[in-house]
Copies of this chain bind each other. A is one copy, B any other.
Amino acid sequence: MIHFENDYNEGIHPELLKTLVETNEENLSGYGTDTYTQEAVEKIRQATNCPQAQVQFLTGGTQTNQVVINSLLASYEGVIAAETGHISTHEAGAIEFSGHKVLTLPHENGKIKAADVAAYLADFYADGNHEHMVFPGMVYISHPTEYGALYTKAELQELSELCDQYEIPLFMDGARLGYALGSPETDVTLETIAELCHVFYIGGTKLGALIGEAVVFTKHNMPKHFTPIVKQHGALVAKGRIFGLQFSRFFTDNLYVEIGRKAVAQAEELKAILRDKGYRFYYASPTNQQFIIVENSQLEELAQKLAYSFWEKYDDEHTIIRLATSWSTTDQDLAALREVL
């Protein structure tokens, strides 16, 4: 079977594994107080050119979104997101479970427009009855989006200024951030993100970590006493070394971005193969996830040849499926794909 179904079905990137193995017998203090975690924080500060960055490592995307949103919002606030945002659709209601409404806006390939956010905010404060409504207290975006799309620097700037104007944070979900940073089509760097977003997270799991995401607060805005907050969410990990070691390696020799770059280059090759074989694209994604529209009658046959993900119904006769390259995709995988299609 050739695997393109997602970017988290293999274990851990060999370089990260190496660092875990080499340090395994070291005695390191727990709960994120070890030296490797401090080292990782420093390297992230350098990579983001944000010396004041405050960093917390967590285990997965839903946990990260929940902890960040829940700890930054007041109880009467909700979070603005695309109606297709991960927090809105695929986190089993984790945001509402922690008390907050997701306020949804229309999207284009998963992106929201600053103009729509501006209109929402203006309308909210124009309504005389707004004390009976949910206050918009944060803007959540995914980069890349759930559809693999990328914000431009100009778009982020607009969103950032809007958030500054309303004094609410702009939060970027970077579950697949490496695949954004590694795209040839982006003008957005880690520095840009740290400058324009009030908080964001650097996804580890989908870039080759065994487990782990790094939340970065860029404006000295990490909530006070964040450790007990993380603890009471059940999110504090005893052997914090696991995060420190992996992220320290991710941010050595630019590994994190290089992983993304290679996978996106492979995604371009994937696109070429699919195009050559006559497949129809949902849209031309600039990152590691590609979406094609397939006749329902062909799905089963295709599934014999390669592992893909069902994405969504396109119409009664067609389905959108996702093919993704990842940190673990090999050139052999692509050659094999060209063969079987």
Q: Tell me the A residues contacting B by CB distance below 8 Å.
A: 1, 3, 6, 8-12, 14, 17, 20-21, 23-30, 59-67, 70-71, 74-76, 78, 89-94, 96-102, 128-129, 131-135, 205-206, 210-211, 224-225, 227-229, 231-239, 241-242, 307, 310, 328
Q: Which residue of B lies closest to A94 (CB)?
A: B232
User: Are A75 and B67 neighbours in the complex by a CB distance under 8 Å?
Assistant: no
Q: Chain B contacts of A210 at CB under 8 A?
A: 20, 210, 239, 242
Q: Chain B contacts of A328 at CB under 8 A?
A: 25
Known interface pairs A76-B93, A90-B133, A134-B93. Does A211 touch B237 (Cβ–Cβ under 8 Å)? yes
Q: Chain B contacts of A78 at CB under 8 A?
A: 93, 96
Question: Mind listing 14 A-B residue pairs with CB under 8 Å?
Answer: A3-B27, A11-B24, A11-B25, A12-B24, A20-B210, A21-B21, A25-B328, A62-B232, A67-B234, A70-B75, A75-B97, A94-B231, A97-B99, A211-B237
Main secondary structure of the interface of A (DSSP, over half): loop
User: Are B23 and A9 neighbours in the complex by a CB distance under 8 Å?
Assistant: no
User: In angstroms, how far is the closest chain B Cβ from the Cβ of A240?
Assistant: 10
Known interface pairs A24-B17, A135-B225. Does A241 touch B11 (Cβ–Cβ under 8 Å)? yes
Complex formed: what's the CA distance from A233 to B144 in Å? Answer: 24
Which one, B131, B135, B234, contacts A60 given CB within 8 A?
B234
Q: Chain B contacts of A74 at CB under 8 A?
A: 224-225
Complex formed: what's the CA distance from A9 to B61 in Å? Answer: 26
In the complex, which of the residues A24, A224, A228 has the most CB atoms of chain B within 10 Å of its own CB atom? A228
User: In angstroms, how far is the closest chain B Cβ from the Cβ of A307?
Assistant: 8
Which one, B92, B229, B233, B238, contacts A133 given CB within 8 A?
B92
Which one, B8, B11, B96, B234, contacts A100 given CB within 8 A?
B96
